[in-house]
Structures are given as structure tokens and as C-alpha cells.
Structure 1
């Protein structure tokens, strides 16, 4: 399957049918995902709706709960599990990142959930995406950034910014004011990871993530890392 094709049609799915899914496909795919940092610890579990405290305005038959032991890993969680989201869409399983659903069984390592299930309303065409322009997410308009431009984010904030380098981009996250930070919380880190996952999927053979010791400080932004593509 070409995961890149899914970037241009993916829709955060909020309408599901209650059909059973062969859940072994998730473990099989997760064995092949790429990580930004190979040394992080994380895990996931699949839950049914009755095992979840769901405060979202929609519900799904299944939820994937993501866990990791350090806040520094949140960007990696977005990066890793957005690959899964694209894969699931490619096999006709709708999905959506859900910040308002959590396991009923409390765990301090819990980060975020992804709802998923069979659906007949899970794709769209490019004209239906509501996103910032390329010039708003970068220091210069560049069509290579369209995959990142189309990435989903909490309340559609799109909190990423790309600065051109000789072989790719320095990546920044938007620094929100204190009120907005309290609302979006850890989601910004996850969202930047999701955008980077799209850049990886679109540049699988050349993508490389690294962190610089010296980088340009940009007012209102926080350096997140650099990519080669």
C-alpha cells in the first residue's frame, strides 16, 4: 500500500459502524513503523467503547490508547501513530486522534487515544481541507511541504513552522500564549510529530530526523528538530 496517497484524502473520522475488525493487523503494522528516536519507551492497547471515558461528541467501537513514560516522547507518539492512522485508512478503517477519550483504568503514562472502526464516511478531496497556506507554515512557500500542510491537529491549530536549510528544514512548534497552552497541553507536541510523519511518508527513502546544537531562534516558536528530505 502507498501510505502517501492517504495523506491527500484522509479525513478525521467521527462516524462509525459497529462492525468487527481483525485487530491483529495493528500489531502486524506496528512492527514496521519508523521512529524518530529508537531509544524511547512506549506501548499501546486496544480498548472497546465501554472501557473508555469518552467526553468527545462522537464515539467509536474501538480506541487505541497510547502510553509513554516521558513528555519528551510526545512528538514521537504523533510520528509513530500517524503512520498507523494512514495505514488504517488505506484498508478502509476510519480513525481520529481523540484528546477527550481516556481509559477507565487509570495510568499515569497515558498520552492520547485514537478512535477507529469501519466507516462509510472517511475520505475527502483536497478542496475540502481547511489549512494554513504554505507561506504561513514556512519561511518560503514550498510545495514539498504540502504533506505537512495537510496533517491533522488539535482544534486545527497546525502548530508547526518550517525553515529551509541546505538539505531540508529546521522544524519549530508555535509557542502559544498561556491560556491556549493550558488548553492544548501536550497536543502541540503530538501534532508536530503528526506533521513530521507526513513528511516521512512522502520522503521515505531520504527522510532523516536530527537535532542541532545551534539553531536560529524564531520569535514565538520553539525549535523541535531538523529533517533532511
Structure 2
């Protein structure tokens, strides 16, 4: 199982087949998934299309609904479940983060859903990615950040910024204008977590996440943590 390879070919899947999936594969993977911060309280449910209020132009046979008790944990949700997305792709299951498709049974701790299902259209070549230049997501272009550069995000806003430090990178979330904040405020921390998941998968043996008290304040950015790779 090579999850890093999936980073360079992943495509947000919007075309699904009706084939059944062995859902135990998901549960088995989630039992060994890497957490960004230990002890985060969350859970997930696997639903079918009939259980979801679908507002997208596409639909999937399955939806994974994610729940967390605190908004501070949203970055962890991106980190944890992007690993699952890469795993699903590695076994031929397409997937897509969907922010507006929620369970019909409302719950105050619902965060976001992931549509998934068998597909024959869930990969792409590297030249099809539309992403910011490395110099736009860090204080200096650094090819070690390519995994983060290729991460998916809500309306492709890519709200992450990496500043070099003595032993790795300080990680920031970009603050957007009021209009954009209203649209993606909830999802931006998830997006940053997704980018960090890519950095972990690409540096599995050396990745470390921690928080500083002496980080640099950067105008227009919010510090979220630091990484060693």
C-alpha cells in the first residue's frame, strides 16, 4: 500500500459506479490511522445516498459523515480523513470531500462528508493539477512542500502557508476577506489538515507535529502549528 503515490494522481471523484464495497476495509484502516493530536474526540458514520441531503450536481453510492465535538478539532479531521481518502484511492475507490451534503438526521457536531464509491475516473496526470506556485505557499520555494501543494481544498483556495524554521516548517492558515470567510470559514482548517496529511504521508518515518509559543506573527495569517519532516 503506497499512499504517497496517490498524492500525485488523486482527483476529486464525481463519477461513481453502483458496485458494493467491503466497508470493513474502511473500519480496519481507521483503527490504525495516524492522528495529528492524540485524544481528539470524533466519530464517523457511513451512509448511503438515501441517508443524505444531496445538493451537488453529482451523487455517490456512499457517504462518510464526520463528527467532532469542537471546532478546534477540524484541522485534525482533515488530517485523519485525508489519509483515508488516499487509502481508498489506492484500492480503486474514488472519493471527494463535500461540504454541503449533510445527513438527513441533523446533528450539532456534524462537520463534513466524504462521497465515495467504486469509479473508473478518479485519477489524473500531474500536469492537470491547478495549484499555487510553491513560492506562494511558503516563504521560499521548497520542493519538499510539493505534497502539500497538491492537496485539495474548498473551492481550491489552498489556505496554507509554510515558513521555514530551524528544524522544519511553521504552518499557518491564510486569513481571507469577509466574503470568502463566509463561504469557507468552516472548511479552511480542514483544508490545512488535509495538506498536513500529505506532508505526513510523504514523510511517514520522520513527520512530527507540535505547537510553539514563540512563533512569528505573520499579518493575514493564523499560526496552527509546526512540523518536522
Q: What TM-score comes out, normalization by structure 2 length?
A: 0.99
Alignment partner of 1:137 is 2:132: no
- Residue 60 of structure 2 corresponds to 60
- Residue 89 of structure 2 corresponds to 89
CA distance in 2, matches of 1:185, 1:175: 9
1:12-56 C-alpha deviation (Å, 9 max, x unpaired): 000001111011100000011111111110000000001000111
- Residue 118 of structure 1 corresponds to 118
1:151-191 C-alpha deviation (Å, 9 max, x unpaired): 00000000000000111100001001111111102100000
Gaps of 5+ in 1: none
- Residue 44 of structure 2 corresponds to 44
- Residue 146 of structure 2 corresponds to 146
Q: RMSD of the alignment, in Å?
A: 0.5
- Residue 107 of structure 1 corresponds to 107
1:88-144 C-alpha deviation (Å, 9 max, x unpaired): 000000000000100000100000000000001000010000000000000000000
CA distance in 1, matches of 2:161, 2:141: 11
Q: What TM-score comes out, normalization by structure 1 length?
A: 0.99
- Residue 15 of structure 1 corresponds to 15
- Residue 128 of structure 2 corresponds to 128
CA distance in 1, matches of 2:55, 2:150: 26
Gaps of 5+ in 2: none
CA distance in 2, matches of 1:135, 1:185: 24
